Structure 1
Amino acid sequence: MFGSEKNKKITIVFLNAILRSTGRSTIKEVEFANQEVGGEYKDDKQSRLDIVVKTQSNELINIEVQLSDEHDMIKRTLYYWSRLYNSQLEKGKGYNTLAPTITINICNFTLFEKSEYYHSTFHLYEDSTMQRIDAMDDVLEVHFIEMNKFLNMWHRNELNALDDILVRWLLLLGMVDVRKTKVYNQIYKELEELAMKDENLLKAFSAWEELSRSKENIQAYESRLKYILDEEGKLDDVKYKAEKKGRKEGREEGKQEGLEQGLEQGLEKGLEQGKQERDEEFVRNLLKMNFEMDVIHKATGLSVDQIERIKEKLDSE
């Protein structure tokens, strides 16, 4: 809905609702930019960004929507930001031509456990004085919006959709929870009333209804959602089986060792050996399912070298 030329005005209103918290100038016009970054060299990582726009002031803004917590959100964000920032510098141009680059992350999970507020914004600051670097004031800006915190605040009546335009747009995004096959009717009714007074919100409703009538859009959406849920499910299943096997082997090793050194020491050693075997079995299962190395690394915490050794052993069998 936000990434199409047809709904450009909706995208601009949504961006202004987010960026006004940092005092940036109002966006009046955008053009949708190339969503591919990286890949300059043979082995370079290619990344596809969700939505990238360039404003009338040449600011680059990347909007990312993340449904699953892969425990790499901060590093992923900095990587995307750096790629987008670097993509501006063409041969023969000076560093002074680099324009501000902004990343907006909308997350369907908790990222900052110690903060209760749903909208966090980051810049570069000096540690002791908390002074922002003047040269970077308008260059680096990163937003995180945690939808679960937002919805919790709304259910506690701590947010006012009538006076806060960002609240309206986030309610629109949070109105449907497909994982729970649930539509929040209370949110729908409130937005329906507000749309009678908010022209842009009404256009968003119309765009959503139009998208929802397309069988092609529905199939693409459901296919993407199924892929995400399947990937999460496979990882959970493999972890559960590996942990179950590790506990069983740990108990057996513990019992045998306990005859000589005592049950407590035996259990500790058995659990450690079981953990190593569990980790190897976990990796073997992921390799058999053709998971990529970086995914296995994130899921297990093992180094790439350790994973490579297990892969070599598996290939030789």
Structure 2
Amino acid sequence: MDSKVLKRLPLERLMDLKVDYAFKQLFGSEKNKEITVVFLNAILQKTGREPIKDILFTNTEAGGEYDGDKQSRLDLLVVTNANEWINVEIQFTNPYEMINRSIYYWAGIYRSPMKPAMGYKELNPVIAINILNFGLFKKTDRFHTIFHLYEDEEKFKLTDIMEFHFIEMTKLISEWKKEKLNPWDDVLARWLLLLGIVDHRKGKIYDDIFKELEEIALKDETLRTAFQSWEELSGTQEEILAYQARLKKVLDEEAAIREAELREQEAQERGWKKGLEKGRKERSEEIARRLLANKTDVKTVAEITDLPKERVLEIQKEVRE
């Protein structure tokens, strides 16, 4: 067997799998179904659920958050052989209220199959998996946290229909650097470290992770297939262009948020209390214009700028004129 899993592309040319487009192209493909099943089982192994044997990729539309909105696109939505719905969201940056966003999406997926004359017991469990390229919970150093509904005092579980997973990649990489992870024995660490090899947000490549996983892939056929599919995806010109466009848009949105924060901080530090609210609105509207010119959708612009949807629509009309 060849000792090299990747043969053609240097690591820096591989897509960052934490960018939603790249993640979905690898894990949301019918031809890679086996990869996705193994990856999801690695995440869900701690919850005591039966292992997934098969999945069906389903419609990734969710109801818009405002009347008249276009549908929101979910990153990955599958139905398992046990009729459990699993939504995987991967966030490269942190422009949202992530916890509220996850609950909102969970609710939309849970109620979406409901039809007239159906009973509530016919609705299926929904599992939300959130993979975050940033820190979220300051109360714990664990990179994988799991949430259910429990009774406050006796701590018994209310229901199995609701389950939330939050995976913080920054904490995972920190654990790796402290040599606290063993991907040879920990399948979840193995697959999450795969996502962490390339970090295009920080301009970093973790060669040590790659070398470790490449050696493991010589014995792990599914991981080897994932490596090969990742390289193929990263070497296809059409896919590269789509990925680069998505990465640019995500980073532009993050930069716009950061610029707004810095300007507001500067205004506060100089004591510009009078007119601060007016200035904040003007800055938000300017940011909205830039995002709309970059073809960011109305819902996202409203979330980022905290402007009313109606005002964003007015600005969108001005930009188009």
Amino acid at match of 2:122: T
Paired position in structure 2 for 1:126 = 151
2:194–2:213 CA contact under 8 A, matched in 1: yes
1:239–1:282 CA contact under 8 A, matched in 2: no
Paired position in structure 1 for 2:282 = 281
**Which has more helix, going by share of residues?**
1
Q: Which has the larger radius of gyration?
A: 1
Paired position in structure 1 for 2:225 = 203
Q: Within 5 A, what are the aligned runs for 1:222-301? A: 222-245=244-267, 247-248=269-270, 250=271, 271-289=272-290, 298-299=303-304
Paired position in structure 1 for 2:11 = none
Q: Which of these residues, 165, 168, 176, is aligned with residue 143 of structure 1?
A: 165
Paired position in structure 2 for 1:267 = none
Paired position in structure 1 for 2:72 = 47
Consecutive unaligned residues in structure 1, runs of 5 or more: 251-270
Q: Which runs of 4+ in 1 moved over 4 A?
A: 39-42, 245-248, 290-301
- Determine the C-alpha separation between the residues in 2 that align with 1:32 and 1:300: 33
Q: SS at the partner of 1:145?
A: strand
Q: SS at the partner of 1:273?
A: coil
Q: SS at the partner of 1:11?
A: helix
Q: SS at the partner of 1:141?
A: strand
Q: Which of these residues, 44, 60, 74, is aligned with residue 19 of structure 1?
A: 44
Task: Render the CA deviation track for 1:18-53: whole Å, top value 9, x for unaligned.
Answer: 001101101001110110122599636621111111
Please give the TM-score of this superposition, normalised by the length of structure 2: 0.81
Go from structure 1 to structure 2 and tell me whether the alpha carbon gap of 1:191 and 1:123 turns closer, same or farther (over 3 Å shift). Answer: same
2:260–2:283 CA contact under 8 A, matched in 1: yes
1:77–1:103 CA contact under 8 A, matched in 2: yes
Paired position in structure 2 for 1:218 = 240
- Determine the C-alpha separation between the residues in 2 that align with 1:240 and 1:139: 42
Go from structure 1 to structure 2 and tell me whether the alpha carbon gap of 1:229 and 1:44 turns closer, same or farther (over 3 Å shift). Answer: closer
Consecutive unaligned residues in structure 2, runs of 5 or more: 1-25
Go from structure 1 to structure 2 and tell me whether the alpha carbon gap of 1:42 and 1:240 turns closer, same or farther (over 3 Å shift). Answer: closer
Paired position in structure 2 for 1:74 = 99
Q: Does 1:91 align with 2:116?
A: yes
CA RMSD of aligned residues (A): 2.6
1:246–1:277 CA contact under 8 A, matched in 2: no
Paired position in structure 1 for 2:7 = none
- Determine the C-alpha separation between the residues in 1 that align with 2:267 and 2:155: 50
Q: Does 1:165 align with 2:203?
A: no
Please give the TM-score of this superposition, normalised by the length of structure 1: 0.82
1:89–1:98 CA contact under 8 A, matched in 2: yes
What is the percent sequence identity of the aligned residues?
A: 46
Q: Does 1:5 align with 2:27?
A: no
> In the comparison of the two structures, how many residue pairs are matched?
286
- Determine the C-alpha separation between the residues in 1 that align with 2:137 and 2:190: 23
Q: Relative contact order (C-alpha < 8 Å, sep 6+): which is higher? A: 2
1:105–1:145 CA contact under 8 A, matched in 2: yes
- Determine the C-alpha separation between the residues in 2 that align with 1:9 and 1:293: 36
